[in-house]
Amino acid sequence: MKKLAATTLIVAGLATSAQAADPVIYTTNPVPAVEAVQAVIKEKTGFTTGIITGGSGVLLRRIEAEKAAPQGDIFWSSSANTMGAFKAVLEPYASPELAAMPAELRVPEDYFQPANVHVVTVMVNTDQLNGITAPADWKDLANPSWKGRIILPDPANSSTGYTIVWGLSKLLDAETYKALVSNFVVSSSSSAVPKGVAMGEYAVGITFETNSYSYVDGGQSEISIVYPTSGTFTTLEYAALIKGAPAGDDAKKAIDALLSKEAQTELLKVAFRRPSRTDIKVSDYVKLPELSSIKVFKIDEDEAAKSRDAFLAEWANLPKAGSSE
């Protein structure tokens, strides 16, 4: 039976009690998303899930460090380009819920499960443009006038950040890419990016659509979402069983619930996550464009995963405008 140092786990200020036998989820997700999934898991299985939060890189390295005696059951979630480097501590699982998802979203051997689809967006605070025309494309943001006014998450610790900079390095020519990077302020926290733009600390943030739209939905009329004209990137957000999960089959039941139509519908409604399932119509719940109307530049997730260490080493040496906590 699983033994934890404490039975009360904290989710960004939210206390969640978990019985010793209930599954524990390591998650990068914000409180509304976590609460929505916890409620569905509770309704479908009766489990009161424990929650540990953190950045994707931090949590995956923690799982790796705990591999001799796993303390968690499920990791939720990150991109394949990040999770691919940690397959040794994850357990393949062909959840029955995968039947409702396109085959192309699955990974070989089902090492991880497609939970939802993310779109990279340019989040703009129009009150902070100071006479500069709002950007329509990535190349616009490479102009020196944007130096220090664009914030994005650190790709070394955030799968969001890694997806962004890897995609940009493939979409743009080398000169434009380096010029754009030189304008970036890099944040150690993914959540600080949309917050910083919403609060007017930065004019622009590069972040996932879910993060941008939450402020638009919240009524901040000065916030706009730009889908770059030359193309943007999508990435799947995956969940996975932790190898040697202490909760055993109960962990599988919990991940089935996480992938269910009920959970993905709730995630769309409360956290604006595009579902990976084909039986949910996005426009029935939120005012987001259909994915088919967005120009998408396809990136190779396997190549991104294999090249992660070398790419991050190159990224670290590129000049940037600064860093932010």
What is the bridge-based pairing of β-strands 204-208 and 113-125?
A: antiparallel
Residue 15 in this model has a pLDDT that exceeds 80: no
- What tens digit of pLDDT does each residue of 176-234 get? 999 999 999 999 888 899 999 999 999 999 999 999 999 999 999 999 999 999 999 99
- What tens digit of pLDDT does each residue of 130-166 get? 999 999 999 999 999 999 999 999 999 888 899 899 9
63 and 131 within one domain: no
The whole-angstrom separation of Cα 41 and Cα 37 is 6
- Asked if residue 217 belongs to a domain, the reply is yes
For residue 97, give the nearest of 255, 213, 233 by alpha carbon. 255
- Asked if residue 25 belongs to a domain, the reply is yes
The whole-angstrom separation of Cα 114 and Cα 310 is 26
Which domain CATH number covers 220?
A: 3.40.190.10
Q: What are phi and psi of 275, to 5 degrees?
A: -70, 155
* 287-300: average pLDDT: 88
Q: How far is CA 153 from the centre of its chain?
A: 11
Counted domains in the chain: 2
Which two tokens mark 186? 């890099």
Residue 75 CB neighbours (<10 A): 28
Angle formed by the axes of helices 159-171 and 308-316, nearest 10°? 80
25 and 122 within one domain: no
Per the structure, the complete domain to which residue 315 belongs is given by: 118-233+294-324
123 and 112 within one domain: no
Which two tokens mark 46? 């009766």
* 301-313: average pLDDT: 90
- What tens digit of pLDDT does each residue of 90-111 get? 999 999 999 999 898 999 999 9
